[in-house]
Each structure stands twice: as structure tokens, then as C-alpha cells.
Structure 1
């Protein structure tokens, strides 16, 4: 059936056969295997681009089941041909099989040939092929392992970050944290600071907003890799500039991952550098940005001492209870429990309950509803605290 489909007059039958070779090959006898190899080789050189695309997409699966001798003598040449195909839609589909070939031939002399072909794909003239390479750059890095120098793989990656096409820079930026995490630990911080961050910094103000949004979602993840001193010196300026970006999604992504930085830089730097920007964003015109700040508040409370929180942020938390957007009011209500858990029942009775009670007399019925929602949560929380206290008293 596979051979009949592979020799069909219509390209649709030939494309359909491509996915069956890897399933049938391990179960075939030697004579049938020869037929299957010949047939698959013909499909990879078919005149119709759609057939070559289908064959290229299944090349990695076929490589796993072919014997290593045939892999080196036949399939390697097929991969090289597909990686140099005149159709970029075929070349981009050869990136994934290239990764598989590197993994299978890692300890073989033929690895040099595969490495060069894969490098050519990363630097391909078509942005669509470079896009696919950027999408798979972390897998490429893992496949190479110690068979490629740090300098070489970093150069390939930074070239993708500097690509002329915004779509390529976008997907390459998305892979920043994963790529940096995969660098050798002994000199990782030095490589990030000296080779990667100089390329990343211009992306923080890139003309393409999608690049900035992608970068904002991952750049905070570099803080644990660099440590406190290097984060404050090299990353904090990038964070602060992106916190003030004109694009709401950029600010939102930075805020959503602030916990990665707060655990690294310590309370002093948090209060002196990041807190003013956070307070400014708490009144942002975009409600999703305000919502992200509300949800971040309990984490911020853990980083700050009680007195500082009361002076700088408590009033802000109470203001959110009367925000004109219901999602903000609901989120503000929910964080009351977490703040009460953090600072205790006495603090809650003294600072939270009086302000919530004031809402019961508000002229706006929505605010009175918020009062009810808040009281329900506070009752549940105080009841749990009383139960814990009573158990402690019973033990004594």
C-alpha cells in the first residue's frame, strides 16, 4: 500500500505516503526495507514541492528508524539536498530533522556536515527559514551540547536577535531565557553580560511592538541567572525602561514576572528603583495593567516590611476597592485575605475592616456590593485564624 501510494499519479497520494515510512520500516524484512528506502529517496526528490515538503516534515521520524549505516550513507545526503532546496517552504521544514540528525550523529565524523547544513539554515536568505530556526534555537543548542563552542552558538543566536525582519527578532526574543539557561554555568553570567545583553538592550525600544512584548515576557527570567549585583547593574535599567513603555502589553508582561527580580535584588533596591514605577502603574489608564499590579501586591507585601507597606501601598489597595472596573474590584477583594494572612488578625481589624465598613455607607450600590464581597472573605479568614488560635490554647 505504501509503495502504491508513493508511486501514485496524483501528488496527494504521494504526500499521504510520507507519514507511513517510519511506521512500516522497523517491521519490514531486509528486501522490503530496501524498497522503502528507495521509494522515500524518490519522494524527497519529487518534482512537486508539496511532496518534498511532506517528505521533509517526516525526515526526523525516518532518521530514528533507519540503520546508522544507511543514515550516514543515504539519509544524510537527502537532508543536505532538502536543506538546499529552491523552495523555502521545504528548507524551513528541514530544520527540525536537522536537529534530529545532530542528535543521532553527535559522536560521528559526519556531524560536521550536518552542523554546516544547519548553520546555513539559521543564516538562510529567506526570513521564513530563519524564523523556524529561531523558533527551534533552544533545541538546536541542546542537540549540539558540547560539540559546538559557546562563542559559535551565541553568535548564531545574537544574529537572529539582530535580524532585519521583525518576525524573526520577535520569536528569537521569546527564546532568550531558555537559551541563556542552556549556556555553560561556569561562564554563563559573563557571556550574557558581554555578548547577549548588548544585543538585547536595543530590542527594549524596538520599532516593532511585538518584539518588545516578547522580550518583556522573558527578560526578567535572566535575573536568577545573573545574581543581585549584575541584575542591578545591567538588567534593572532595561526593566525600568520597559515598565514605562508606551505599549500596555509590554508593561503588563514586565509586571507579571516581577517576582523573578524581587527574589534576587533585595528589599532596598526594590523600594528605591522598582516601587516608584509600580505605584505609577497602579493608576495606569489600561485596566489590565492595573489588574496585574493588584495581583502582584501580595508578593510585594512579602518583600516589604509592615510599616513601609502601610505608608506606601495600603491606601492604594483600598482605592482599588472602588475602581470603576469590576475585575479590579474583585481582584482587590481577593487580595485582602492574602494581606491578612501576611500581617495577622490584629492588623486586619485595625487597618482593613474600618475601610471596608465605610463602603457600606457609600452612595454607589456597586461599592456597597464590594463591601459585602470583602466582608465574606474577611469573615472566612478571621474564622480560620480563631480556629487556629483556639487549637493552640487547647494544647496549652
Structure 2
């Protein structure tokens, strides 16, 4: 059947045959194996590009089942044919085959055979082939071995980073961290400083936003590899530039690597260099950027300490509680719990709670609801005494709010707060309030009040 498909008049049958060779090869006699190799060679040289594409896509699978001697002698010639094909759609599929074959070749002299073909693919005249190479570059790197990687691939990678096509530069930029980390330790730092970083610095101001977006997501991953001093000297200026980029996705991606920066640079450097940019981004016009900054507040708090946080960053956290985007308000209430766990309930009682309680009388009902959400999270870390004294009285007062949405959120909060306070307070203060709310004119308020009563077993 395989022979019939491989020699069929219709190109569709020959295309289908390509995927069957790797399955059939291991199950036939040596004589038939030779015939199958010849058939596959003819498919690699087929007049129809679709057949050659299919052969190129399956060459790697076929190579895995072919004996080592034939791999060097016969499959290498098939690979060479496909890698030099006139159609770029065939050549780009040869990139995958290159990885498979290189990983199967176990002696360095044989790997030298594949090196010139591989370099030709990296420098191919078609940007689509170069793009595929950039996409698969770290796979190529691991397949060819460390010696070839350092000698040949470092210059090739820098060429891809400087490519005329933005898509190629973006694909290469996305591989910067992984490529550098996989370089041999002996010459890694020199290769990064001499060859890679100059190209990366150019990409920071690339005219194409996709290139900068790809770079921003990985560039700070080099920090652990370079260490403290080199990160401050080389990476920090790039980080600050990308933080101020016009494209929101770039700013968002670079913020997401803040933890990697924190691991390497000290608190003083962080406060001097990064903090002004972070404060600016905390008021960014794009809410997703603001959200990313909100989520990194506990990390900054741990790095900078309580006093610095209170002076510089706490006002921002309080501002986010009244942000016009719900996701920001929700995230801000969440980080209050983390900050209280970090700095203690006494700190929150003194610095955070007065500002949260003030929201209970805000004219905007959404802000009053945010006050309740904050109480829900703070009660979990305040404990029974502080919750009874500092949180519960305000929640009880809000049960008479003129907006039903606020009232039913009071019922939800009483369920949370009631689970924290002692039994005496629960029965003396929470129970009467819920009983009153169970008679509210609004169905939703009655529903959540009854739900809270059941949960607290006050029925």
C-alpha cells in the first residue's frame, strides 16, 4: 500500500505516503528498508511542491527510525535537497528536520556536515524561513551542541536580532533569555556582553511595537545570569526605558518581570531608580498596567520595608480603592490582606483602617461597597477583638444604607465578620442586624441576610 501511495499519479496520494514511512520502516526486512529509503528520496525530489513539503515535514520522524549509517549517507543528502529547495515553504519545514537530524548525530565530525546547511537556513533569503529559524533557535542550539552553539550560533543569533523583518526580530527577541542561559558557562558572560546586549539595546527603541513587546517579556530574565553589578549597569537602563514606552503591552510585559529585578538589585537601587517610574505607572491610562502595578505592591513592600512603603506607596494603594475600574478596586482590597499579614494588624489598624472607614460615608455607593470588601479581607487577619472593635460598628451602621446593593453586601460582610467575632458579640450585635435585614423591602437583601443567618447558625 505504501509503495502504491508513494508512486501514485495524484499528488495527494504521494503526500499521504510521507507520513507512513516512519511507521512502516521498522517493521520490514533490510531489502525493503533500502527500497523505502529510495522511495522517500524520490518524494523529497518530487515535481510537486506540496509533496516536497510533506516530505520535509516528515523527514525528522523518518530519521529517528533509520539506522545511523544510512542517516549520515542517505538522509543527509535528502535533507540537503530540501534545505536548498526553490520553494521557501519547503525550506522552512526543513528547519524542523535540521533539529531532528542534528540531535541524532552523535559525533562532532558528522555534526560538521549539518553546520553549513544550518547556517544557510539561518541566512536564508526568505524572511519566512528566517522567522522559522528564530522560532526554533533554542531547539537548534540544544541539538547541535555547545561548541557549535558558541562558535556559530552566537553570530547567527545577533544577525536575527538585527534582521530587516520585524517578525524575525520579534521571534528572536523572544528567545534572548533562553538562548543566553543555554550558552556554555565558560564564555557565556563575554558572549552576552560583547554580542547579544548591543543588539538588545537597539531593540529597546525598535520602531515595531511587537519587537519591543517580545523583548520586554524576557529581557530581565538575564538578570540572574549577569548578576547584580552588570544588571544595574546594562539591564536597568533598558528596563526604565521600556517602563516608559508608548505601547501599553510593552509596559505591561516589563512590569511582569519586576520580581526578577528585585532578586538581583538592592532596595536602595530599587527606590532610587525604579520607584519614580512605578509611581508614574500606578496612574497609567491603561487599567491593565495599573492592575499589574497593584499586584506587585506586596513584593515592593517586602523589598522596601514598612517605613518607606508608608511614605511613598501606601497613598497609591488608598487611591486604587476608589479607581473607576472594578478590577483595580478588587485587586487593591486583596493586597491589603497581604500587606496586613506582612506588617501586622496594628499597622493596618493605625494606617489603613481610618482611610477605609472614611469610604463608608463616601457619596459614591461603589466606594461604600469597596469599604465593605476591604472589611471582608481585613477581618480575616485582624482577629476577633480588633474586628469587633474597629470593623463591626461601621458594618452595622451601613445596614441602613439607601442603596440596596450596599445593604445586601452588608449582609455578605456580616457573614464574614460574624465568623470571626466571639459568640457574645455575634448574638448581641450581628444577629439583631441580620434579623432586621431579613425583613428588608428588597428581595436580594432578604436573600443574603437569610443566607448569612443560616451560615452563622443564627436561625
Determine the structure 1 residue equivalent to 2:196: 196
- The answer to which of 99-108 and 317-326 deviates more is 99-108
1:190-229 to 2 correspondence within 5 Å?
190-229=190-229
Determine the structure 2 residue equivalent to 1:390: none
Determine the structure 2 residue equivalent to 1:127: 127
Contact 2:217-2:257 at 8 Å conserved across structures:
yes
Give the whole-Å Cα distance in 2 for the aligned partners of 1:114 and 1:336: 58
| Structure of greater relative contact order (alpha carbons < 8 Å, 6+ residues apart) | 1
Question: 1:15 Cα deviation (Å)?
Answer: 1.1
Distance 1:124 1:368, change over 3 A: same
| Partner SS state of residue 62, structure 1 | helix
Contact 2:146-2:183 at 8 Å conserved across structures:
no
Gaps of 5+ in 1: 388-396
Instruction: Report the TM-score, using the length of structure 1 for normalisation.
Output: 0.95
RMSD: 1.6
| Offset from partner CA, 1:23-79 (integer Å, 9 cap, x none) | 111122223322321221111111110010011001111111001111112111000
| Offset from partner CA, 1:164-222 (integer Å, 9 cap, x none) | 01110000000000001011213322221121111110100101110000000000101
Give the whole-Å Cα distance in 2 for the aligned partners of 1:360 and 1:302: 29
Determine the structure 2 residue equivalent to 1:393: none
Distance 1:384 1:262, change over 3 A: farther
| Offset from partner CA, 1:98-150 (integer Å, 9 cap, x none) | 11211222405332221110110000011010001111111111112234162
Determine the structure 2 residue equivalent to 1:171: 171
Contact 1:161-1:200 at 8 Å conserved across structures:
yes
| Offset from partner CA, 1:297-338 (integer Å, 9 cap, x none) | 111111011000000000100110000001111111111111
Question: 1:384 Cα deviation (Å)?
Answer: 9.4
Determine the structure 2 residue equivalent to 1:290: 290
Give the whole-Å Cα distance in 2 for the aligned partners of 1:142 and 1:192: 18
| Partner SS state of residue 115, structure 2 | helix
Determine the structure 2 residue equivalent to 1:40: 40
Contact 2:111-2:144 at 8 Å conserved across structures:
no
Contact 2:336-2:374 at 8 Å conserved across structures:
yes
Contact 2:203-2:212 at 8 Å conserved across structures:
yes
Determine the structure 1 residue equivalent to 2:376: 376
Determine the structure 1 residue equivalent to 2:348: 348
Give the whole-Å Cα distance in 2 for the aligned partners of 1:159 and 1:140: 15
Correspondence 1:24 to 2:5: no
Give the whole-Å Cα distance in 1 for the aligned partners of 2:34 and 2:190: 51
Determine the structure 1 residue equivalent to 2:257: 257
Give the whole-Å Cα distance in 2 for the aligned partners of 1:82 and 1:91: 6
Give the whole-Å Cα distance in 1 for the aligned partners of 2:199 and 2:269: 25
Determine the structure 1 residue equivalent to 2:335: 335
| Offset from partner CA, 1:244-290 (integer Å, 9 cap, x none) | 11111111111011110111011010000001100011001111110
| Offset from partner CA, 1:337-367 (integer Å, 9 cap, x none) | 1111111111111122221111111111111
| Partner SS state of residue 324, structure 1 | coil
| Partner SS state of residue 184, structure 1 | coil
Give the whole-Å Cα distance in 2 for the aligned partners of 1:108 and 1:58: 25
Contact 1:15-1:54 at 8 Å conserved across structures:
yes
| Partner SS state of residue 157, structure 2 | helix
| Partner SS state of residue 186, structure 1 | coil
Contact 2:149-2:183 at 8 Å conserved across structures:
no
Determine the structure 1 residue equivalent to 2:272: 272
Contact 2:25-2:65 at 8 Å conserved across structures:
yes
Larger Rg belongs to: 2
Determine the structure 1 residue equivalent to 2:113: 113
Determine the structure 1 residue equivalent to 2:326: 326
Question: 1:379 Cα deviation (Å)?
Answer: 1.2
Distance 1:11 1:149, change over 3 A: closer
Determine the structure 2 residue equivalent to 1:90: 90
Contact 2:295-2:335 at 8 Å conserved across structures:
yes
Question: 1:382 Cα deviation (Å)?
Answer: 2.5
Give the whole-Å Cα distance in 2 for the aligned partners of 1:114 and 1:354: 70
Give the whole-Å Cα distance in 1 for the aligned partners of 2:175 and 2:377: 40
Determine the structure 1 residue equivalent to 2:160: 160
Distance 1:146 1:189, change over 3 A: closer
Contact 1:106-1:147 at 8 Å conserved across structures:
no
How many residue pairs get matched? 387
| Partner SS state of residue 333, structure 1 | helix
Correspondence 1:230 to 2:251: no
Distance 1:94 1:318, change over 3 A: same
Give the whole-Å Cα distance in 1 for the aligned partners of 2:372 and 2:216: 37
Q: Deviation above 4 Å: which 4+ runs of structure 1? A: 384-387
Give the whole-Å Cα distance in 2 for the aligned partners of 1:107 and 1:32: 28
Determine the structure 2 residue equivalent to 1:300: 300
